[in-house]
Amino acid sequence: MFNAITSIFKQLIEGDDLATHTHRPTPELAIAALLIEVSKADHTVEADEEQAKVALLCRLLTLEAPQAEELITRANAFVEQSVSLYDFTSQLRELPQEKRYHLIKAMWDVAHADGVIDPLEDAVIRKAAELLYVDHSEFIRAKLESSQAKP
């Protein structure tokens, strides 16, 4: 996030028009970025979380593993330049309710991958659910389904 703020100031100093620098991610890139945000929330990214992100992107977006890994690489760069979750959620609101629910569940699956739900991971998922207009009851249902799927 600091990099994004620095970039904005640099553009202002250099006289760049900020309106020409609006880069909206594709829905696929936004989904990958949200999974990355969850894994990075506790400031440590475990191997289990990395594997979970690839597997979940394969399932959510019907991708092969190499495609999912390439998408994660691109999304990592986008996450570094973003300033808020809104950058990713704004166009995903158009997804059907069921797909938004599955995205929130996938975010819980990433958080559960290392066996520990950090309060920062919970906060990221909670905020994403709010921005995606996922009802609180569905947020809780996704959390419970994800936790029950793990041993």
What are the tens digits of pLDDT across the range 88-143? 899 899 999 999 999 999 999 999 998 889 999 999 999 999 999 999 999 999 99
Q: Is 100 exposed, middle or buried (0-12, 13-18, 19+ CB in 10 A)?
A: buried
The residues, any chain, with a CB within 8 Å of residue 23's CB and separated by 6 or more, are 78, 81
What share of the chain has pLDDT > 70, as a percent?
Answer: 83
> Model's pTM, two decimal places?
0.82
Both tokens of 17, joined, read: 């028009």
Domains and CATH numbers, the chain: 2-14+24-149 (1.10.3680.10)
43 vs 32, higher pLDDT = 32
Task: Give the residue, 80 or 22, on which the prediction is more confident.
Answer: 80
CB distance 134 to 61 below 8 Å: no
Tokens representing residue 68 in the block: 């999912």
Q: What is the pLDDT of residues 54-69, one digit of tens each?
A: 999 999 999 999 999 9
Sequential DSSP letters for 31-80: HHHHHHHHHHTTS---HHHHHHHHHHHHHHHT--HHHHHHHHHHHHHHHH
- Which among 26, 23, 53, 59 has a CA at the least distance from the CA of 40? 53
pLDDT at position 42: 87
Contact 71, 29 (CB under 8 A): yes
